[in-house]
Structure 1
């Protein structure tokens, strides 16, 4: 397997010096020979080296440097004299592009080119310049480089000043984007493109399809009613909390927190002015039913709000036990089921209200939010767009695109079989060499002290794990979701990459 990473170890820097000598002393007579057969670049401490491996052997490299003056500046003068001002806003120089002789094939050069596109673009450079050897002019041109000044150097080592801009690399980067292997917990990639529709949300046909979709949603959730809204899960939670504010304006409730989204739910409740008390059991810790019962015994609480599937740490919270507790103390139980709904079978019968979305475990287009209800809400002081009784009364009070309904209806046809698909995918993650935490089939959490480096390597090779959120970065955590349509083949390739990556860290 050919793969790329940013060089970070002494062993890698020694291999770079050896390849540097082999290429720029023995092959291209640019430097004098020496007994060590190592050539350390004069800008070594300023370089970022992207290297290519074949399994565990380093076979290619390229160096990036953004400290002025560039080596090319010394040959032709400042490159700004030749290039447009907008191209020169944030420049880097590419140097030391080299590949071992017995690995000079299309796959290695493709991997190097891919690394160049991803690294220089993700680092925010407006362009990169290079002194390209004339013998590889065709290769550089195919990569998107263009010559911007006359050739320099000696007859034995002649170079072309060339530049690669963000604009000139756009076509290549778009191809790379399409080839990315994504493990995000949403939005889900679509297996077929959306078909534009002019069917009006006021038409009889639309109303019939909407009612059928709602019926299938309620069947899957084992709920009595569902209200679809155009928006995100955060909107759904705001609508749910706004309804609680109308039903219990001066009465107290509890919010249970053991992760990022439980905390967000608490903050949303406070913004609504709910009289709510937070029970924070700690990041990823199980909710203690006895502790909740003690609170209910000593206080006068009318409702409990919690996150069923806490995405931030892959924790599944105890819906059934909390439902029994709510019934015992006659309190309303409400849940954020945004990540759990569609990932596994469960009943919402114990829930007063619950929220979900289309773009998570259901595996379809993001953009629809759902509020499931045990009983029809009858009054609300919430703004009209979040007013649940208004939705019940008007059925389709606001514009709802037909393709949303069609996409969700198509996704629901895959159930109940999709439950087994997601479960099998999660078993594959658990049975891999990764030390993950996973308590429900939608998402696994992986902690590693060098996670930032692992994520960079994965991204450089087109594997996009979920790890950019601040709450994940500060805990050295990345996440792998099972919901994407190409998970099975993509995860096999990810495992192959990580087999070699973990040996080099």
Structure 2
């Protein structure tokens, strides 16, 4: 068995079942040290290039060895364990026996492991993956069950009862007067917000301090909004007094920003605008997609806010929503029917087909969030994993008080690769975010706590990261 990097061999091992074993040539017959067995083999020629002598490579080779001995029905494996990797061997389940062998140039600890070792099975068998992505998030059993219910027509009375109760719970959660729900993504929800801003027919400002702020600016251009883009470096906090100065100088009427910037985990505290000198009839519009369900929100002073079902609300992707506190005017321009908020309002919220399964899953999840005190749970998990990551030398972006505890963005330092770590964690049962271009270009990995995550999930994740490092 070999380990490759860029088609170059960086590690290898062999398996031998012909006796005498290499260990027996060094220490004599070994059966007296071992539990009863029927078929035995030995790991031979375990070798890893010096620059790759980390637990990741050795772990991968041993994993392949285990798969092979399981296939060939060996029930015990012996090895000359590398001395400086004893912690790894023992963690997997190897048991040392006899004295250290070898000479001053190469010394080894004889070790064995049985096929039925619990810890080996725990590490090497395929297990269900845990989603620590910003979406799709980890879904609870109750919500999955709700999603699998027999579909109902969106025109049925039962559908409407659940639909209107879901809207009521959403408005209560964020302290908004109204919400409309539609089939679509967060991008679509932001298009709906942009179209409503366009109805104001006034100039405004769009802020950006991260990837999703940049996307809002793109929404502005593509929806022909009249605005000033206001950009600062990613991860920095906005200077609200400076923004107010720009708005007063240019006589800007509305502001559009990301409430929780997913790319860095920053929370942009727009509420400071409500008490500022520039608040005179200011229309505050939010991309709140990563905020709702993860942090306390209050949209009572907000003009428009976008949201989705598949992040902090812990349901399935596929439903977009827009919150609002004002009367929606009939458009005097031609816009697509699916993006026309006025059309939803004047059709009692259901102008077109809406998925019962997505709706009922969201309805079920909203009940769980309240019952399980989601926001408190996210804060506790954030404090715990941040501390555990610090112990292994990883530090996520820290926005101080202005941080979304459901998002940890971790810059990886060379020689470590975010792509390699993300792939490694995926192989070992943990889905983290690393494939988006804005993450891969910066060598960042994201761990998100938006879904139904438990402390034991994080313990396993941290152990897997330790192996990688």
Q: 207-216 or 481-490: which moved more?
A: 481-490
Corresponding residue number in structure 2 for 1:496: 463
Give the Cα–Cα distance (whole angstroms) in 2 for the partners of residues 26 and 290 of structure 1.
Answer: 79
1:185 and 2:134 aligned: yes
CA offsets 1:245-267 (integer angstroms, 9 cap, x no match): 1222xx31110001111111110
Corresponding residue number in structure 1 for 2:257: 306
Tell me the TM-score normalised to structure 1 length. Answer: 0.68
1:220 and 2:179 aligned: no
Which of 400, 406, 411 matches 1:447?
Answer: 411
Cα distance, 1:272 vs structure 2: 0.7
Q: Helix, strand or coil for the counterpart of 1:454?
A: helix
Distance 1:367 1:104, change over 3 A: same
Matches within 5 A, 1:333-372: 333-372=284-323
Cα distance, 1:51 vs structure 2: 3.7
Corresponding residue number in structure 2 for 1:169: none
Corresponding residue number in structure 2 for 1:414: 368
Which blocks of at least 5 consecutive residues in structure 2 are unaligned? 23-43, 48-54, 66-76, 80-110
Corresponding residue number in structure 2 for 1:397: 351
Distance 1:415 1:459, change over 3 A: closer
User: Could you tell me whether the CA contact under 8 Å between 2:205 and 2:247 is conserved in 1?
Assistant: no
Q: 416-425 or 455-464: which moved more?
A: 455-464
Distance 1:390 1:40, change over 3 A: closer
Distance 1:24 1:379, change over 3 A: same
Matches within 5 A, 1:162-311: 176=126, 179-190=128-139, 191-192=141-142, 193=145, 194-248=147-201, 251-311=202-262
Distance 1:345 1:227, change over 3 A: same
Give the Cα–Cα distance (whole angstroms) in 1 for the partners of residues 78 and 422 of structure 2.
Answer: 25
Number of matched pairs? 382
Corresponding residue number in structure 2 for 1:320: 271
User: Could you tell me whether the CA contact under 8 Å between 2:178 and 2:325 is conserved in 1?
Assistant: yes
Cα distance, 1:339 vs structure 2: 0.2
Matches within 5 A, 1:433-472: 433-434=389-390, 435-438=395-398, 439-449=403-413, 450-452=416-418, 453-472=420-439
Cα distance, 1:23 vs structure 2: 4.8
Tell me the TM-score normalised to structure 2 length. Answer: 0.73
CA offsets 1:5-31 (integer angstroms, 9 cap, x no match): 9677xxx95xx46x55x85998799xx
Corresponding residue number in structure 1 for 2:340: 387
Q: 434-443 or 103-112: which moved more?
A: 103-112
Distance 1:290 1:99, change over 3 A: farther
Which blocks of at least 5 consecutive residues in structure 1 are unaligned? 30-37, 42-48, 63-97, 115-175
User: Could you tell me whether the CA contact under 8 Å between 2:247 and 2:278 is conserved in 1?
Assistant: no
Distance 1:306 1:61, change over 3 A: same
Q: Helix, strand or coil for the counterpart of 1:269?
A: helix
Corresponding residue number in structure 1 for 2:383: 427
Corresponding residue number in structure 1 for 2:59: 53
Cα distance, 1:333 vs structure 2: 0.7
Cα distance, 1:211 vs structure 2: 1.3
Give the Cα–Cα distance (whole angstroms) in 2 for the partners of residues 412 and 296 of structure 1.
Answer: 38
Give the Cα–Cα distance (whole angstroms) in 2 for the partners of residues 198 and 462 of structure 1.
Answer: 31
Q: Helix, strand or coil for the counterpart of 1:340?
A: coil
Cα distance, 1:39 vs structure 2: 5.9
